[in-house]
Amino acid sequence: MLGIPRLNSLRQLKRCPELFKCRRVTRNWIRLTFAYLGLKKPPFQISMPTGDFAFSEVSDVATFWQIFCAEVYPVSQTDHTIIDAGANIGIFTLYALLRAGTSHVIAIEPAPDSCARIRSLLRSHNVESRCTLHHIALGAYEGETTIQLAPASQFRRTGIEGVRVLMKKLDSFVSGPIDFLKMDVEGAEACVIRSASPMALGQIRRIAMEYHPQEPLPGLLALLQARGFRISRVRDDGEGYGLLWLDRDIAGSNN
């Protein structure tokens, strides 16, 4: 889950470009900025060039800002195949489809109500034909697990309690080159990487992923480097949380 900002989070001069990006995203940029600063609470909606976006939870605002305005998950306009692992309500899926106009997104999300929001969101922006949505959990084995439904959508975890859902390994979604993998699977990231075959991981060119306290960062970095990825950037958010950006060379990649 991308962190919820503090009131002074936009006072840093280096973050001013985010405001300009916000103005390009929506004509309701003042409303969105006030919400990001904690001065307005959901529910509310904004208008975008391709359709509307409705915010239901405070965490929706933080995630939307980080993806559309801070662009923490950088998508290239020439990316063709993108995986959104832990798609939640579809904010990154929408961003990727709008940013890379010829792309196809494979969205993976275990919560049934979040899947319903994804379908509605993509339909309202007329991009649903370029997304394959899987109501499935991503994990370490093929079988079943559970997904929490009680907490806010951004905080749900699998394997603890809740409704039953199918679980598959990353290999099930990699049938060819993957330009970008965005992963936010609430602490299961190390299990997902460990269980993936070298053939599947070798197809992935770039990764941006959240990391969580369940796997200490040094071990996670060593695991990823052992699988052939280069660590291009680490953002430490404290208390075992943060973001990683990784890449690798793939012969014949489109960039």
Mark out the alpha helices in 26-136 (DSSP H runs).
29-36, 58-64, 91-99, 112-124
| Secondary structure of residue 176 in the 3-state scheme | coil
The whole-number pLDDT of residue 253 equals 40
Q: What angle do CA 36, 72, 212 make, to 5 degrees?
A: 90
More confident residue, 11 or 179: 179
More confident residue, 153 or 64: 64
Q: Which residue has the tokens 């075992």?
A: 240
Q: Which token pair is 191?
A: 């299990």
The whole-number pLDDT of residue 11 equals 56
Dihedrals phi, psi of 179, to nearest 5 degrees: -70, -35
pLDDT band at 72 (very low <50, low <70, confident <90, very high): very high
Residues found in the chain:
255
The whole-number pLDDT of residue 146 equals 82
The whole-number pLDDT of residue 15 equals 81
Instruction: With beta carbons less than 8 A apart as the criterion, state whether 103 and 95 touch.
Output: no
pLDDT band at 164 (very low <50, low <70, confident <90, very high): confident
- Asked if the model's pLDDT at residue 255 lies above 50, the reply is no
Rounded-to-integer distance, Cα 222 and Cα 224, Å? 6
Mean pLDDT of 195-205: 96
Instruction: With beta carbons less than 8 A apart as the criterion, state whether 114 and 91 touch.
Output: no
More confident residue, 223 or 6: 223
Where, residue-wise, is CATH 3.40.50.150 in the chain? Answer: 75-247
Mean pLDDT of 166-193: 95
Mean pLDDT of 222-249: 93
For the domain 75-247, what is the CATH superfamily, name and number?
Vaccinia Virus protein VP39 (3.40.50.150)
Instruction: With beta carbons less than 8 A apart as the criterion, state whether 197 and 172 touch.
Output: no
